[in-house]
């Protein structure tokens, strides 16, 4: 089963949209196998955004992602990387498709609410940055619960 990393960025936390965005992923049928709220420091942000180190927007990217806590989660499901990217929408919310998270809630290119891994390889790398193996869970969401 495929996994992807999703980060609900500082603007999601600030605007109290955490639950509404998580609900969309669950409604789509994806399983949350890891989730936590953290405050990303500059070292962790630099590691995560290493592909952008030499780009002119790098420092503002770091300032934004370290400005407030974020929610990091690992979603699991069939074709989850591509499907989540479609659900999130274009980085520029003004160009995002109607019905995507960024179209519905985004305010700008920077304040775009969500990070989602771009590929299976990126997902594998990013998940290891934010989660230890023991923080990820495997379970059957359809297994009947025992009663006491």
In this structure, what CATH number is given to the domain that contains residue 27? 3.30.70.141
> Tell me, what's the pLDDT at 79?
98
As a whole number of angstroms, the distance between CA 113 and CA 12 comes to 5
Q: Residue 75, Cα to own-chain centre: how many angstroms?
A: 9
Which position among 102, 114, 115, 131 bears the catalytic label?
115
Instruction: Please check whether residue 142 lies inside any domain of the structure.
Output: no
- How confident is the model over 101-110, as a mean pLDDT? 92
Instruction: Please check whether residue 147 lies inside any domain of the structure.
Output: no
> Tell me, what's the pLDDT at 105?
96
> Tell me, what's the pLDDT at 108?
86
- How confident is the model over 22-42, as a mean pLDDT? 97
Instruction: Please check whether residue 60 lies inside any domain of the structure.
Output: no
As a whole number of angstroms, the distance between CA 72 and CA 115 comes to 9
> Tell me, what's the pLDDT at 129?
97
Instruction: Please check whether residue 81 lies inside any domain of the structure.
Output: yes
> Tell me, what's the pLDDT at 67?
96
Task: Determine whether 115 is an active site residue.
Answer: yes
Residue 147 has pLDDT above 80, yes or no: no
Instruction: Please check whether residue 51 lies inside any domain of the structure.
Output: no
| 8-state DSSP, 94 | T
What is the tally of structural domains in the chain?
1
Q: Which of residues 107 and 74 earns the better pLDDT score?
A: 74
Residue whose pair of structure tokens reads 């379970």 in the numeric block: 139
As a whole number of angstroms, the distance between CA 39 and CA 42 comes to 10
As a whole number of angstroms, the distance between CA 29 and CA 75 comes to 10
> Tell me, what's the pLDDT at 144?
87
Instruction: Please check whether residue 79 lies inside any domain of the structure.
Output: yes
Q: What is the mean pLDDT of the chain?
A: 95
Tokens (6 digits) for 14: 């600030």
Tokens (6 digits) for 97: 């498709």
The domain of 78 spans: 2-39+69-135
The whole model's pTM is what?
Answer: 0.94
């Amino acid at each position: 089963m495929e996994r992807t990393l999703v980060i609900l960025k500082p603007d999601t936390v600030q605007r109290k949209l955490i639950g509404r965005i998580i609900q969309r992923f669950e409604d789509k049928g994806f399983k949350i196998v890891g989730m936590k709220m953290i405050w990303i420091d500059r070292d962790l942000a630099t590691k995560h955004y290493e592909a952008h180190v030499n780009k002119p927007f790098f420092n503002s990217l770091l300032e934004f992602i370290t400005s407030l806590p974020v929610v990091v989660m690992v979603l699991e499901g069939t074709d989850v990387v591509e499907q989540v990217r479609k659900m999130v929408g274009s980085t520029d919310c003004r160009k995002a498709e109607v019905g995507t998270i960024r179209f519905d809630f985004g305010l700008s290119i920077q304040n775009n609410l969500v990070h989602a891994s771009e590929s299976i390889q990126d997902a594998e790398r990013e998940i290891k940055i934010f989660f230890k193996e023991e923080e990820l869970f495997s379970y059957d969401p359809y297994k009947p619960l025992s009663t006491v």
